[in-house]
Structure 1
Amino acid sequence: MTIENQNGNSIGITSNITDGDRSTTFDVEKLVTGNPNTQSRLSYTFPSTRDITAYQLESDKTKNDVTHRLQIVFYNSSNVIIKNITAPSNSGYKIYLDSPISGVKKVVLTTSSSTGNTLVYDLDVFNDPMPEPIYLNGLLDGKPLTISSQNGTIFGTTLSVTDGNINTFHSIEKQDKDSNKNNTKKTHLSYKFTEPVTISFFQLKADKTPPFNTASLLLDFLDSDGNILSSIRQPAFNGLKTPLDSPIENVSSVVLRSGTYEGDTIVREFNVFGDGTDPGTDPGTDPGTDPEPGHSGKNALLVIKMISGLEKEYDLTVSQIQDFIDWYDGRADGHGKETYMFNKDYNKGPFTARKDYVAFSKIQSFEVMEYSK
């Protein structure tokens, strides 16, 4: 990528954040008034325009800040900004955009900070189609969400956004500038857990809020005293499981609420997902050993699609598939180990054993295809 100063002039080249090697990095320097030669931008220009559907960014927090201050900016062939992602996820996961960005000629990674540098490990953009979302398997499956106003007036509950069906929905009403009228507006959906949980991902499928080109919502994570631990403005609403930049601990309640006075927002599905930091590596089941040697002989191909876009395939018996599904369902409910071990009994070469560990928090979806021997 081309290293640029804050005026956009080229001052060097680096491949440290596009080589797939996390040990190589680039320090995006802070903006300095009167010193245009700071290395505050990285850019790449495509030979021809591209459509961008996703990005992947991993970085540290900006020094002297509580978060990172990076931005990903997309330009067309006339060097005009098409889109500016002002708060991109820096989790290192592949993040699909709510809608593709067409006609991209140049991509720029830059900073808005004048207080600290930001260490970047990896950056990439993609043009592959967004995968079909899979709903449920989260902490809110089938849970009734409380419908309320901004001041806490409760109007009832709804199951329409936690049932795994995008054809059922709930409309979050817009806020009103008249505080008296606002008290009657159904602007909030919330759920209170029976005990505090750690949340690593969320999933939201919503329509765009008229007249905007996004879903104008806010997603809040609250502690037991009602204090906001973290808040996401305009969360991704494409229906895919979206990673938080870092897990949020001790969450007692989640709140999805209106972020506008302009229009109502239709929400079709909403869920959150548990802790992805369990260091355990033994799931308690070895799918490389058939627990039922006398099984009928039916096999199945398990195809796991990772959030990174990588696909893993395993040829297993039906009972081994069920072991995996039981682990996955349990982990989605916050129980069991973070990783599942597949014992590979093929292509061992000189090794006595080959084991493949798959982390729950890295799984986007999976498919099972049965066949007979």
Structure 2
Amino acid sequence: MRVRLSVIIIALMLVLISLPLNNQAEAYPGGLLEGKQMAASSNGLNVDWSNTVSEATDGDTNTSIPLKYDGVGVAYLQYRFEKPTDITGYQLLLDTKSSKTRLRFFGENNKLLYDNANLVQDGTRTNLKISGAYEVWINANPGPINLKEFDLFGDSPQQPNPESPLNLTVIGQTSSSVDLTWNAVNSPNVQGYYVYLDGVQMPGIVTTNNFTITGLTPGQTYTAYVTAAYSNNIESGPSNTVTITLEEPVPGNSILKIYLNTGYEREYDLSTSQISDFINWYDNRANGIGKNYYPFVKTVNVGSFKKITQYITFDKIVTFDVNEY
């Protein structure tokens, strides 16, 4: 009986010894990509930085993302640091050794710093020395592969205070709309801007440094500020806040709403005679008579200026509405 028990114990120990160790497959703490989102793309060139995945950076070896270079599915994972970063190592874990991956680092101005398709792929932390990395690309070469974990190590690229937009200014308004502009942030990582009205983010990302808020209530007071939307889902702090008080509509006036072929809209609160002047100019210009632009003078909420004149060119106008009140 004792002999049989000893044999069973020895057999169990041999089974346990033969099982793969999972400690090398765990994500190392403190990695630069730990918990971060990576952009996923099919070719690595036309990257939508808002299309992100986290299966390779979540620290969970039970999750993975398939990569295959076929021009259709996901082949590349990419990450862009907020500043040039020194890399001292990487960790890569695949569920198979039958196919290889390719790892590349780029510096500023897309300078190639490192390119290697012969990587350690069993989850072992591997030393690496790269200075000033700005982007990292990892892709199937050619695949298919299932990428379980990927991480980098080195100096942290965190920037606690990414640059915020400055000098938010009201450049015009009607009784129901307001035109805003601000200084653009000079950074290649900025994808656009978020506009906040009374502390609530308005839908979508604004890709220029000006925006018109419409549909406001006459006679009401609002506050607005903007933030910069960086890649990797980073948002800057707010700009200065502006306060907007909309005037009550003047009886007999109309709102002229102009639709431009750029996709923007412009609204102007005008008197009956001003509406008539604009329509006369438009009709004449349609017959090739007169100047190619029409000036609209704003004197309300113009900051430090006495007035602001906006010039609307005829060839930009798609259509317009006249809404009397």
Regarding TM over 0.5, the answer is no
Quick check: which has more Rg, 1 or 2? 2
Q: Give the TM-score taking structure 1 as reference length.
A: 0.33
Higher percent of residues as helix: 2
